[in-house]
Amino acid sequence: MDTGSGTPEERLVIFDTTLRDGEQSPGASMNLGQKLRVAHALNDLGVDVIEAGFAAASPGDLESLQAIARQVNGPLICSLARCTTGDIDAAWEALKDAPRRRIHVFLATSKIHREFKLRLAKQEILKRAAEGVARARERFDDVEFSPEDASRTEPEFLAEVLERAIEAGATTLNIPDTVGYALPSTYSNTLRYLRQNVRGIEKVVISVHCHDDLGLAVANSLAGVLEGARQVECTINGIGERAGNASLEEVVMALKTRHDVLHVTTGIRTDRLYPTSRLVAQVTGFPVPRNKAIVGLNAFAHESGIHQHGMISNRETYEIMRPEDVGFSQSSLVLGKHSGRHALKERLGTLGYDLDDKQLDAVFADFKSLADKKKEVFDTDLEALVLHGQVLHPRQRIWEIVALSTTSGTGTLPAASIALKDATGECHRQASSGDGPVDAVFKAIEGITGVQVRLRQFQVNSVTTGEDALGEVALEVEHETGIYRGRALSTDIIEGSAEAFLDVVNRILSRTDEPPKVKREAEAI
C-alpha cells in the first residue's frame, strides 16, 4: 500500500467478518439494530473491510447489508456471494448505495467438496470460478475470490483456479483454511507455493481466513502474514462457525506487539478493542472467557505475589502490553451515589461512550439505583450499565415488577410472591411454589401474565468484579410463536431473573423480537 509519502508502508488490511462468519456461530444471530451497532463499532475501531452478511442467504441479511451500506461510512462494506448470477445480483442490490463496496465470491475447490458437495469435475470448477469472478467484476470494481477449503485442495489445482480468478479480474485472493485443518508450517507452505506458482499473483492482495478447530487460527493467520499475506480475515472475540475464526484482537495485538518480527501495521485503534469485544459479547450472548487473550477480564490480572512484586518494580517484567493499549480500564473507584449527571457524562466520555441526552438520562437512572445498592461503583460497572442496561436494551414496559419476595432453605418448599403492574397501572399479585426460588418466581409471573413458555437456556454471568458484582441474567425461552431472549442486570440474582423473565414476557406480548433465524443451508449450486 502506498502511503503517499513515497515510502511503501507494509500496511495490512483488516477484514472483519463478525457480522457474516461470526454470525454463523450457532446461536449468535443478531437482529438489524444489533448489527448496525456492531458495524458502527467496527468503523470506530478502524477496520478496513466489514463483511456485513451474505445477501442471498435471507431477506434479513439483505436488509441489514443495505442498512449498513447506507449508514456506515468509512470501511469497504462487503457481501459474501456464491459464483451464481442470483447471488451476485443480490449482493449488488444490497451494496449499491455503499460509498465503498466489495463483493466476496466463493466456490469450493477441494476434492472432498468437489465430489461430495458440489458433484463437479475440476474443469467445471475452473469454469464456474472464472465466470463468477467475471460476472462480479461487471458490477463491482473490488472483487475478492475464495476457493473454499483451499488448505485441503491439491496445490496444483488450487494454483490453476486462482490463476483463472486473477485473469477474470479478482483483486483479492483469499486462502481459506475452512475446516481449521492447517498447521502454521503447512499453511505457510501453501502460501509460498502459490506465490511462486500462480501467474499474476503479485498484482492482487493475498488474504488469509483461518478457522480455529485446532486452536491455530491466529497462529496460522500470522504464518500467512510472514508469507506475504496482506489481508487477515477475523472476527471480534474469534466468534464464527464451529470453534470460530481468528480473533481480531489477538491478530492485531500480535502484529503490534511483535512488529519486530511481523513488520506490518494496521489501521486499528487498539484502545477500542475492549469496548468492541464487550459489545459483541453482549449482543451475541456469547460471554468472553475470563482467560481470553487480550480482552478477557484476567488478561491483565496478576495474582501471584512474585508477579505482583515484579510488576511494582517494573511492569514490563510480566506485562508485554499495557491494559490501556487495548482499552481495558482498570477497576478504579470513580463515582459514588452523590455524583451528578455531569460527572457521569465525563467519566463515560473517558471510557469512550458518547451518549446523547436521552441515553445519558437512562444510564443516570440506572447508575443512581446501582449506587444505592452497591458500595463502590467502578468503571466496569458503568460500562455494564451502558452495554447491558436500558440504553441498548430498552424494555417494553407492558408488565412491571412492583414487589418481589422469595423464601427457600433446607427442608422448606421454595416459594415466591410477586406483584406486577400492568400497562394501565393496575396491580396483580400471585404466590407460587417451585423447584427453587427462581422457578417459583417464573411460575408466579406466568400465572399473572398468562404467558406460558418453556425455558431453553438460563445463564447468569458476572459482568463486573467484587462481592457485590453486577450480574447479567440471560434467558432463552420457547413460546408457541417462536424463540425469545430476555436479559436483565442486577446485583441480586433472583431479582435479575424475575426482570429477565418479564423482559421475555413483554417481548412476546409486543412481538418485537425477530423470528428465529433458520441456519443457512450449506452451499449448493
Label the pairing between strands 454-462 and 471-479.
antiparallel
177 binds Zn ion (CB under 5 A): no
Q: Alpha helix locations (H) across 335-436?
A: 341-350, 357-373, 379-388
* C-alpha radius of gyration, the chain, whole number: 25
- Site residues for ligand KIV, window 2-41 (CB under 6 A)? 21
State the Cα–Cα distance between residues 269 and 253, nearest whole angstrom.
11
Q: Report what 148 binds from Zn ion, ligand KIV, none; CB cut-off 5-8 Å by kind.
A: ligand KIV
Handedness of CA 209, 214, 219, 224 (dihedral sign): negative
Q: Report what 497 binds from Zn ion, ligand KIV, none; CB cut-off 5-8 Å by kind.
A: none
Site size with Zn ion, rule: CB under 5 A: 1
Q: Which is nearer to Zn ion, 21 or 366 (CB)?
A: 21
Q: Report what 106 binds from ligand KIV, Zn ion, none; CB cut-off 5-8 Å by kind.
A: ligand KIV
- Site residues for ligand KIV, window 217-256 (CB under 6 A)? none
Q: Report what 18 binds from ligand KIV, Zn ion, none; CB cut-off 5-8 Å by kind.
A: none
State the Cα–Cα distance between residues 77 and 94, nearest whole angstrom.
10
Q: Take residue 363 and report the three cell numbers written for it.
A: 444510564
300 binds ligand KIV (CB under 6 A): no
Q: Report what 443 binds from ligand KIV, Zn ion, none; CB cut-off 5-8 Å by kind.
A: none
State the Cα–Cα distance between residues 288 and 244, nearest whole angstrom.
13
**Options 48, 148, 250, 476; binder of ligand KIV; rule CB under 6 A:** 148
Q: How far is the CB of 148 from Zn ion (least distance, A)?
A: 8
State the Cα–Cα distance between residues 130 and 24, nearest whole angstrom.
27
CB atoms within 10 A of CB 117: 16
**Residue whose CB is nearest to Zn ion in the complex, by number:** 21
Q: Report what 380 binds from ligand KIV, Zn ion, none; CB cut-off 5-8 Å by kind.
A: none
Q: Report what 160 binds from ligand KIV, Zn ion, none; CB cut-off 5-8 Å by kind.
A: none
Draw the binding track, 59-98, toward ligand KIV (x: CB under 6 A; -: no contact).
---------------------x------------------
Give the contacts of 396 (CB within 8 A, at least 6 positions apart): 503, 506, 507, 509, 510, 512
Length of the chain measured in residues:
525
State the Cα–Cα distance between residues 97 and 104, nearest whole angstrom.
17
Cα angle 148, 142, 126 (rounded to 5 degrees) comes to 40
Draw the binding track, 153-182, toward ligand KIV (x: CB under 6 A; -: no contact).
---------------------x-x-x----
**Options 109, 146, 207, 282; binder of ligand KIV; rule CB under 6 A:** 146
Q: Is 450 helix (H, G, I), strand (E, B) or coil?
A: coil
Q: Which is nearer to Zn ion, 21 or 383 (CB)?
A: 21
Q: How far is the CB of 326 from Zn ion (least distance, A)?
A: 25
- Site residues for Zn ion, window 312-351 (CB under 5 A)? none
Q: Take residue 441 and report the three cell numbers written for it.
A: 418466581
Q: Is residue 145 within 8 Å of 172, Cβ to Cβ?
A: yes
Q: Which of 448-467 are b and which e, b meaning 16 or more Cβ less than 10 Å from the residue's Cβ?
A: bbebebeeeebeebebbeee
Q: Which is nearer to ligand KIV, 176 or 437 (CB)?
A: 176
Q: Which is nearer to ligand KIV, 16 or 21 (CB)?
A: 21
> Which contacts (CB < 8 Å, 24+ apart) does range 462-469 have?
463/380, 463/384, 463/388, 463/489, 464/331, 464/378, 464/380, 464/381, 464/384, 465/297, 465/331, 465/378, 465/380, 466/376, 466/378, 468/373, 468/374, 468/375
- Site residues for Zn ion, window 113-142 (CB under 5 A)? none
Q: Is residue 234 within 8 Å of 266, Cβ to Cβ?
A: no
Draw the binding track, 9-48, toward Zn ion (x: CB under 5 A; -: no contact).
------------x---------------------------
Q: How far is the CB of 303 from ligand KIV (least distance, A)?
A: 37
**Options 128, 135, 164, 209; binder of ligand KIV; rule CB under 6 A:** 209
Q: Report what 146 binds from Zn ion, ligand KIV, none; CB cut-off 5-8 Å by kind.
A: ligand KIV
Q: Where on the phi/psi map is residue 292: left (φ > 0), alpha (ψ -120 to 50), or beta?
A: beta
Q: How far is the CB of 233 from ligand KIV (least distance, A)?
A: 7
Site size with ligand KIV, rule: CB under 6 A: 10
Q: How far is the CB of 15 from ligand KIV (least distance, A)?
A: 10
Listed residue (202, 215, 201, 207) closest to 250, CA to CA: 215
Q: How far is the CB of 316 from ligand KIV (least distance, A)?
A: 38
212 binds ligand KIV (CB under 6 A): no
Question: Which residues of this protein are in contact with Zn ion, per CB under 5 A?
Answer: 21
Question: Which residues of this protein are in contact with ligand KIV, per CB under 6 A?
Answer: 21, 80, 106, 146, 148, 174, 176, 178, 209, 211
